[in-house]
A and B are shown apart, each in its own frame.
Chain A
Amino acid sequence: MRVNLTVNGRPMTADDVWEGESLLYVLRERLGLPGAKNACEQGECGSCTVYLDDTPVCACLVAAGQAEGREVVTVEGLAASGGGLDGELGGGLNSGPNSGLNDVQRAFVDAGAVQCGFCTPGLVVQAHALLTGADGVPPDADIREALAGNLCRCTGYEKILDAVRLAAARRAGTA
């Protein structure tokens, strides 16, 4: 079947989609967007987290046909070059090694919150969702709750929590 959807602000069409296929497979294998990672395929790990109509979801649990006519934003869309959420991106990141990164991605780099990197795209999208609408730096309990469905097997999470606090503090103008 054919699926029409908007990805990172651009209308896209996927053809020859199998009816039992996931949105994750469509994004990675048909639309050339490998940012969302394929790991557990059962919603346990969060590494495929994307926005579906502004709500973070596991792309592996969305049937491809359920994305018909809807708006998807992947981790690629969070970067300044990727379109999608351009309007809310932090400025001043147009030069240097981190150019094109949005503020959450930048904070992950600066805090050293990335080791193997496999979980990072999902964590970045989920952290981005937490900070969208957050007032100041969220309490640790809120950060832990928000990230409870994103597994990382490298970092021990401490630097990921640091990164979220750093991004929040920069948004609040206190870092």
Chain B
Amino acid sequence: MDFLRPLTWVDALTLKAERPEATPIQGGTDVMVEINLDKGRPAALLDLTPIAELREWSREGGEIRVGAGVTYSRLIAELGAELPGLAQASRTVGSPQIRNRGTVAGNLGAASPAGDSHPPLLACGAVVEAESVRGTRLIPIGEFYTGVKRNALAPDELIRAVRVPAAAGPQYFSKIGTRNAMVIAVCSFAVALDPSVRRVGTGIGSAAPTPRHAPRAEDFAAGALDWDGRGPLDPGAARRFGELVAASAAPIDDVRGRAAYRTHALAVMARRALGWAWDDFRAGDRRGSA
């Protein structure tokens, strides 16, 4: 095994082009587990932690550009107001020690269907900024996940950043697990409201081969909600939203839960999350609680 340690982003891209089989490592919370437990042995590790610019985030127009080295801990501390859904999901990742190392970009690189970042990224329409010596490619999040632990990155590409629209309305994340820490999601759900365009975004985690949207639920809710009058959420509409979210999933039975349980839990989480978000909107809180 080789340990590659570029000190600049340009050098990292050059090394990745020369050694496309190299595995990028940032927080190590996935990569080192594979190595420690001998589940896989990369030909080379490409350590991205020395590259300072990856640890920065910035506001660019209505977007937050989150560098690939920004940890969950920093995202929670620094971006809870702008990205409440992603910050909520980040709070449920592992433990403080894991959140001090792990990154959203690492979650994207691993592309586990159970990754906690994916549902909020889907719900708010994030874009993955992939880069190689050939140039930059902006990949809409809905096109990023291509299979179980597979993503749309080319072999010579690295994730530079993820571009996440600043919240235009309330956002919520919900996750099922056996305790309130160190949990891989049994299933998870995120919702994001954008009242300015009357859009309801959704994201489903750990209930299909990849994280995915629930498009029929999104369309239904956008049409069913009383955007003008800000009236209460009709309980029947909330239930229907939950059913449509559950119908978009394709769960399996595995060690963490049964498919039938996941389907049921998704319907409940989606109904509740929409209710929380709508209540925030009715109360005039355009951002939702962080």
Contact = CB atoms under 8 A, between A and B. Distances in A.
Interface of A: 1, 18-20, 22, 41-44, 46, 49, 55-58, 60-63, 65-66, 68, 126, 129, 145-146, 148-150
B95 interface: yes
25 contacts: A18-B1, A20-B1, A20-B42, A22-B32, A41-B33, A42-B36, A43-B32, A43-B95, A43-B98, A49-B97, A56-B96, A56-B100, A58-B98, A61-B29, A61-B32, A63-B32, A65-B47, A66-B28, A66-B47, A66-B49, A126-B96, A148-B96, A148-B181, A149-B97, A149-B98
A65 B5 contact: yes
B96 A146 contact: yes
A58 B25 CA distance: 15
B207 interface: no
B193 to A, nearest CB: 28
Contacts of A55: 73, 100
B94 interface: yes
B154 interface: no
Nearest to B181: A148
Interface string B35-65: 1110001101101010000000000000000
B101 interface: yes
B33 A43 contact: yes
B97 A1 contact: no
Which of the listed residues B2, B5, B96, B100 has the most CB atoms from chain A within 10 Å of its own CB?
B96
Contact of B101 (A19, A22, A58): A58
B41 A44 contact: no
Contacts of A41: 33, 36-37
Interface string B57-93: 0000000000000000100000000000000000000
Nearest to B5: A65
Given A42-B36, A43-B97, A62-B32, 9 more contacts: A41-B36, A43-B33, A49-B97, A55-B73, A58-B97, A61-B27, A146-B96, A148-B96, A150-B95
Contacts of A126: 96-97
Of A43, A55, A145, A149, chain B has the most CB atoms within 10 Å of the CB of: A43
